[in-house]
Structure 1
Amino acid sequence: MYQLNVKKLGFAFGLTAAFLYLGCMIVMATAGKEGTITFFNSLLHGLDTTTIIRMDVSLTEALLGIVQTFILWWLIGACIGVFYNVQIKNK
């Protein structure tokens, strides 16, 4: 069976999550508070995000968030790759 490249899978997960984070930043920057609330309420099947949407996010905080998101999802992707590969070796 085909084995996954753990580093490449982790990078793919991390980059995908970072792009989603960037998309969220763009929505917040262009739609304003009410538009952002409407967008995320509809995306989350009507979950009311009014009380958790915070628009005063600094650029430093946003950049730190995108880096943290990349690292977290890189680790998640790498773990999935490792678990998949270990499972193949046992068969």
Structure 2
Amino acid sequence: MLQINVKKLGFAFGFTGALLYLGCIIVMLTAGKEGTVTFFNNLLHGLDTSSIIRMDVPLLDAFFGIIQTFILGWLVGACVAAFYNAQINVIK
């Protein structure tokens, strides 16, 4: 079996998470508060998000949020690849 490149999978997960975060920003900028609440209520199977949606997010908070999301995604992807690689080495 082939091994997965830990850094590349980490980057793929991190970049995907950052893109999702950016998509959230775009939804909030274009749909307004009501549209954002409706979008996330539908996405989360009817969970009422109206009390947790905050529209006045400072630019610096959004910047750090996208960076943190990338880092967490990178760590998750790297762990998945490392665990997968460790498992195929055990089976051999």
Q: Which runs of 5+ in 1 are unaligned?
A: none
Q: How does 1:1-91 map to 2 (within 5 A)?
A: 1-91=1-91
Distance (whole Å) between structure 2 residues aligned to residue 42 and residue 72 of structure 1: 25
Deviations 1:49-88 (A, max 9, x none): 0000000001110000000000001000000000000000
Distance (whole Å) between structure 1 residues aligned to residue 90 and residue 2 of structure 2: 13
Distance (whole Å) between structure 1 residues aligned to residue 47 and residue 76 of structure 2: 26
Residue 50 of structure 2 aligns to which amino acid in structure 1? T
Q: How many residues align?
A: 91
Q: TM-score, normalised by structure 2?
A: 0.98
Q: Which runs of 5+ in 2 are unaligned?
A: none
How many percent identity over aligned positions? 71
Deviations 1:21-69 (A, max 9, x none): 0000000001000000000000100000000000000111000000000
Shift of 1:89: 0.3
Q: Alignment RMSD, CA only?
A: 0.3
